[in-house]
Amino acid sequence: MANPSRQAVNFAAPRGFGTAFKADCKQTFFPDDPFHEMKHEKPLNKLKKTIQYFIPLFEWLPNYNLRLFRYDLLAGITITSLAIPQGISYAKLANIPPIYGLYSSFIPPFVYAIFGSSKHLAVGTVAACSLLLSETVGAKASPQDDPTLYLHLIFTATFFTGIFQTALGFLRLGILVDFLSHSTITGFMGGTAIIICLQQLKGIFGLVHFTTHTDVVSVLGAVFRRRNEWRWESAVVGIIFLAFLQFTRYLRQKRPKLFWVSAIAPMVVVVVGCLFAFFAHAEKHGIQIVGELKKGLNPPSIQYLNFDPQYLPVTVRAGLITGLIAMAEGIAIGRSFAIMKSEQTDGNKEMIAFGFMNIIGSFTSCYLTTGPFSKTAVNFNAGCRTAMSNVVMGFCMMLTLLFLAPLFRYTPLVALSAIIMSAMLGLINYDEMIHLFKVDKFDFVICMAAFLGVSFISMDVGLMLSVGLALLRALLYVARPAACKLGKIPNSSLYRDAEQYPGSTPIQGALVLQLGSPIYFANSTYIRERVLRYIKEEQGVSDSKTDIIEHLLLDLSGVSSIDMTGIETFLELRRILDSKGIKLSIVNPRIEVLEKMTLAKFTDAIGKESFYLSIEDAVQNCRFSLHSSKTTMEESLNDQNVV
């Protein structure tokens, strides 16, 4: 007999395949449901909002005014003062002519202003991707022996990066970026900062010959093997510049309002370095300079894209790896600064914007660009209001390329090395690594795998090690899902984890278990064994009648999906429980789970009366059943005594 007060579970007819597939795709690819507001709009307004969605420029530009432009103008000029030295420095890190670093800060900012969704992100080249491109492409084509081929392969890798990022954005596959966890990025950036800093010892000591490897052992070995090339003059100048840059960073931390001092410090180092090199004839004292920088705007480079099958695997690999890292870094940085203003950025729009930047950039003599942290932080602190600050930077870079570029030919390489070292020292986040160790040891291991792998093996190997460990952890979560025994909180109708709440009371004659993950072929056997173990533990080693379990209640409210192996496991579990005299009941299955159980005839096998809307309903019915059973047993015993 059933408890008459129980609430009925809705056994509606399963949705059709098309309806269910559409709902699943919407949840997977459109979790933010961006077109929800357009449903009831008129066709013209719907078209207008669709264009605004895909091209964010049309969303903020109509409301733009002179008051906003004043802030963006100041921010744009400020980040230009940082973009010039960084562009030259990171181009040197990528082993391409310095002028291409300036080219890469001219065209991409205009593209991002059209398609980017972040108000604060300032685009440009980044150190990690510059070095990774150099390491990956340099393994196939030497920048010293064949610089022209090397440069063309860099453009080609940038093109593939753009194609990859754009495709992910249009297909709304931003989920792939999530596989680069916070721990992985922290370790990767820290390890990259270490090897970049060590590589700058070549510029600090004025070395002419150096290793092409990036690991710590090879770099330090090259530095000490070339002691005969050390130039004390270069080292002294480098230390002075580095000390000045670090002082400005310290000043910014102590007095945030003086952020502009730190922002213009790299430009000051370049200007002072140029003057010093010109008047002191630095080249005669072993201090190397950048050399000639041609005046003029970006020349077209689409004709230089190299799709030769001999080089295709290298350029595709370089494009995919650097594209994934650049996306993760740019999207994470954009979101971080948006949160500070209680705003949001769309990760898929950002991927499309980065993709277009790199595709168009590869056609116009630019190499890989994204949203660097240092430039974005300066842009944010300078008070930018919209992406117009990137447009201002683009125009400033245009003026620099047309009129000022040749003036930077005297920039000492040691000054660029000091700028890169100062920027990289800020990327080694010791506090975050210590925090990871305190909070989650496995996250710390993932972080250290990236950090040590990048530092002592190579950048791509370190990244793959860390991502591999993160995926292994995710697989362990899937294969060994969480399950817990529930008890009732006294004086309430709440049921919570008995281990977390020791004061909760068990349900006499019933065992309530909560499953908290999808049930698939990978974890179904574990779930069956875990459930049987719970029953064994509950009944105890003794067979006392007080420990007898007559009902097993499985709370499936946290189970988002189930496959056929999972359903077969439940059927097998039911047969085992029947042999033990235990009744299986299901509590609050979600629509996807209930539909599959209905289609697989599982609901008919165990009976629809075994499904409950809440744990309280199920427990009340168990008590009612136990009471009825007890009454029937007592009446039977009385009849036997009478006979």
Task: Give the pLDDT mean for 269-295.
Answer: 84
Q: Please say whether the dihedral angle defined by the alpha carbons of residues 77, 83, 84 and 86, taken in this order, is positive or negative.
A: positive
Q: Categorize the per-residue pLDDT at 6 as very low, low, confident or very high, splitting at 50, 70 and 90.
A: low
Q: Contact at 8 Å (CB) between 539 and 582?
A: no
Of the pLDDT bands very low, low, confident and very high (cuts 50, 70, 90), residue 31 is: low
CA distances 299 to 80, 395, 403, 597, Å, are: 21, 17, 16, 63
The region of weakest confidence among 274-283, 358-367, 537-546 is: 537-546
Whether the pLDDT of residue 1 is over 70: the answer is no
Note the helical H segments in 480-556. Answer: 524-539
Segment 144-171, tens digit of pLDDT:
889 999 999 999 999 999 999 999 888 8
Per-residue pLDDT, 13: 75
513 with 485: CB under 8 angstroms? Answer: yes
* Residue (of 490, 516, 518) closest to 503 by Cα position: 490
Confidence at residue 93, expressed as pLDDT on a 0 to 100 scale: 85
DSSP β-ladder status, 510-515 and 483-488:
antiparallel
Q: Could you give the C-alpha distances from 390 to 66, 89, 112, in angstroms and in order?
A: 16, 20, 8
Domains, the chain, ranges and CATH? 57-474 (no CATH), 481-638 (3.30.750.24)
Residue-level pLDDT at 354: 94
CA 539-543-546 angle, 5° bins: 65
CA 22 – CA 400 distance, rounded (Å):
51
pLDDT of the residue at 170:
86
| Mean of pLDDT values over 16-21 | 75
Q: What angle do CA 456, 451, 478 make, to 5 degrees?
A: 120
Q: Residue 638 pLDDT > 80, yes or no?
A: no
- Mean pLDDT, the chain, rounded, equals 85
Which has the closest alpha carbon to 116: 354, 464, 329, 437?
Answer: 354
Q: Taking CA 419 as the corner, what is the angle to CA 417 and CA 424, rounded to the nearest 5 degrees?
A: 95
Strand 583-587 relative to strand 611-612: parallel, antiparallel, unpaired? parallel
Which residues, other chains included, contact 151 with Cβ-Cβ below 8 Å and sequence gap of 6+?
A: 96, 97, 100, 304
pLDDT band at 514 (very low <50, low <70, confident <90, very high): very high
User: Any bridge partners for residue 487, and if so which?
Assistant: 496
